């Protein structure tokens, strides 16, 4: 009996000692940086984190993929240090952060040409006009536009299978804003997922599939997918470095951002990571399939960040 009591007491003590090394509320524990948000920006942040680990092996960078909106929710509560975003922060999200005393800075890190993808066996589509895309994705299409030949009579009389990011995704917000006209305004009957790998899987396995996501995911899966050109009024354009940089791939060229928490910049590791990010994003974003800003633009972002760090020490 005494033995049992002793062991129970020991067990309780050990359990009570367990939780000291968690994170502080704003993530300022040394050795750990928390990032969450856009699945589009994820490949860039991941590449930067990998290179950064070679430079600074002690620091652990964890990157979540909750979608731009989901990331901002967590960022606004102070649960993450950095938020990946494929669109600028909305007013409500900024207000939410302000309520929780979170100040932040937004930094542009790369350019994306949002890719509209089809299955490689799809031989009837070479390009879409913005009007056709609107017809497919607007809310009025829900339940009505279900077959390819409803959009263009030359296309086959087969079901369209749609794959797209979900409502927490910045890509979703951006696409609906520039194609349909209002952010968040979309039909509801498609396969929605914040994880772009699910969308890749979906379109790659479905002859009649049609989807959209950040270009990096197309670049990574070029053998499984086909890219459709987008006609924004000046003829069909494919996203390349030139067309995205000079804006001819319109309206689907867009900047990618990271947002950094003001209390996190008191942690020298976060500051070092973000500086490393801005210095190397140009090269690394090209590696993953996006497009870099110009060298001057990166310098300007770095200066913006350095000023922010100074103001928040």
Which of 271, 278, 305, 273 minimizes the C-alpha distance to 63? 273
Do 227 and 117 contact (CB within 8 A), yes or no?
yes
Query: Binding to another protein by residue 264, rule CB under 8 A?
Result: no
Q: How far apart are CB 163 and another protein at their closest, in Å?
A: 8
Query: Binding to another protein by residue 308, rule CB under 8 A?
Result: no
Query: Binding to another protein by residue 127, rule CB under 8 A?
Result: no
Question: Pick from 28, 42, 47, 70: which binds another protein (CB under 8 A)?
Answer: 70
Residue 120 CA to residue 4 CA, distance in Å, equals 67
Question: Pick from 82, 109, 192, 284: which binds another protein (CB under 8 A)?
Answer: 192
* CA dihedral sign, ordered 78, 81, 86, 90: positive
Q: How far apart are CB 120 and another protein at their closest, in Å?
A: 13
Which stretch, 8-16, 19-27, 194-202, 242-250, contacts another protein (CB under 8 A)?
Answer: 194-202
Grouping H, G, I as helix, E, B as strand and the rest as coil, residue 297 is helix
* DSSP per-residue letters across 179-243: IISSTT---S-SEE-S-HHHHHHHHHT-TTEEEEE-HHHHHHTTTT-EEEEEESSSSEE---HHH
Q: How many residues bind another protein (CB under 8 A)?
A: 35
Which stretch, 26-34, 140-148, 230-238, 281-289, contacts another protein (CB under 8 A)?
Answer: 140-148
Q: What is the DSSP letter of 89?
A: P
Rounded to an integer, what is the distance from CA 126 to the centroid of its chain? 26
Query: Binding to another protein by residue 67, rule CB under 8 A?
Result: yes
116 DSSP β-pair partners: 212, 228
Question: Pick from 31, 156, 181, 205: which binds another protein (CB under 8 A)?
Answer: 205
Q: How far apart are CB 85 and another protein at their closest, in Å?
A: 12
Which CB sits closer to another protein, 67 or 289? 67
Question: Pick from 40, 83, 171, 193: which binds another protein (CB under 8 A)?
Answer: 193
Query: Binding to another protein by residue 187, rule CB under 8 A?
Result: yes
Grouping H, G, I as helix, E, B as strand and the rest as coil, residue 107 is strand
Tokens encoding 44: 């860039």
Q: How far apart are CB 240 and another protein at their closest, in Å?
A: 28
Which residues 6+ apart lie within 8 Å of 183 measured at CB? 173, 174, 176, 177
Which CB sits closer to another protein, 111 or 225? 225
Which CB sits closer to another protein, 81 or 186? 186
Which CB sits closer to another protein, 187 or 254? 187
In which region does residue 80 sit, left (phi positive, over 0), alpha (psi from -120 to 50) or beta (all else)?
Answer: beta
Which CB sits closer to another protein, 127 or 185? 185
Helix orientation angle between 42-55 and 268-288, rounded to the nearest 10 degrees: 120
Question: Pick from 190, 218, 257, 273: which binds another protein (CB under 8 A)?
Answer: 190
Kindly list the residues in this chain that would bind another protein in the complex (CB under 8 A): 66-67, 69-73, 139-140, 142-143, 161, 166-168, 184-194, 198, 201-207, 209
């Amino acid at each position: 009996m005494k033995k049992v009591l002793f062991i129970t007491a020991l067990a309780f003590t050990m359990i009570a000692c367990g939780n000291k090394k968690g994170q502080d509320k704003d993530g300022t524990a040394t050795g750990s940086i928390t990032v969450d948000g856009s699945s589009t920006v994820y490949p860039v942040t991941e590449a930067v984190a990998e290179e950064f680990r070679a430079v600074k092996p002690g620091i652990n960078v964890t990157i979540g993929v909750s979608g731009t909106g989901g990331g901002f929710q967590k960022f606004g509560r102070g649960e993450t240090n950095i938020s990946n975003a494929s669109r600028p922060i909305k007013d409500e999200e900024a207000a939410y952060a302000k309520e929780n005393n979170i100040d932040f800075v937004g930094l542009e890190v790369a350019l994306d040409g949002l890719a509209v993808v089809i299955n490689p066996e799809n031989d009837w589509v070479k390009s879409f006009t913005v009007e056709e895309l609107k017809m497919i994705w607007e809310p009025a299409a829900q339940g009505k536009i279900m077959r390819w030949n409803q959009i263009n009579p030359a296309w086959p009389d087969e079901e369209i299978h749609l794959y797209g990011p979900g409502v927490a995704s910045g890509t979703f917000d951006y696409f609906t804003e520039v194609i349909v006209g209002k952010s968040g305004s979309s039909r509801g009957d498609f396969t929605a997922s914040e994880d772009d790998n699910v969308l890749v899987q979906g379109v790659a396995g479905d002859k009649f599939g049609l989807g959209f996501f950040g270009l990096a995911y197309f670049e990574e899966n070029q053998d499984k997918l086909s890219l459709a050109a987008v006609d924004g009024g000046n003829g069909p354009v494919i996203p390349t470095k030139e067309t995205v940089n000079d804006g001819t791939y319109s309206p689907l060229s867009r900047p990618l951002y990271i947002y950094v928490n003001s209390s996190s910049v008191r942690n020298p590791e976060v500051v070092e990571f973000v500086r490393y990010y801005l210095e190397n994003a140009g090269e690394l974003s090209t590696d993953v399939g996006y497009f870099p800003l110009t060298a001057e633009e990166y310098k300007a972002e770095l200066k913006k960040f350095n000023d922010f760090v100074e103001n928040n020490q």
